Amino acid sequence: MKFLPIMPNSSTLLQRMYAFCKISQQYRQWNANILGKMASEVCKAQTAGPGGDTIFGKIARKEIPAQIIMEDDDTMAFHDVNPQAPIHFLVIPKKPIAMLQDAKDQDEAILGKLLVAASKAARKLDLKDGYRVVINNGRHGCQSIYHLHVHVLGGKQLGWPPT
């Protein structure tokens, strides 16, 4: 390990300070970009609320287009329009359920089908090295669209805790 001399000549010190500032500047820019994206998602979640039709309901009814990976009578998997990983798709129930806590006893089968559909779509996209499954629920869970949906993220090594 190399240590700074106690009294380095001024050019060496300036070079090291410049290199540190350059790295620090790049880190601050990267961090600002990440925090900006996170802040906008948090803002969406804080201003969204349950009730009414959603974009996912329109996708399920095929009123608006989506890059559909697969679907059956009860579920649909499609690519996220704002991916947070090389592969990022959503799985929704075709039945509108606003939040996980709104699911009833009779929704038990569809909740299981969401995870099975996530697994099938992940296999179809060759995510054999693994993936993350996430459900954002409510305002504090950062849910911005009030139609229950499962995020599936993969295609790279994901970190923990998520950022």
Active site residues: 149
d(CA 127, CA 118): 11
CA distances to 4, 31, 65, 90, 127 from 59, in Å: 60, 34, 6, 11, 24
CA distances to 5, 37, 56, 57 from 92, in Å: 61, 23, 8, 9
Q: Considering just the CA atoms, what is the radius of gyration of the chain in Å?
A: 22
E strands, 14-145, in order: 68-71, 75-79, 87-93, 131-134
Tell me whether residue 93 is exposed, middle or buried, using C-beta atoms within 10 angstroms of its C-beta: 0 to 12, 13 to 18, 19 or more. buried
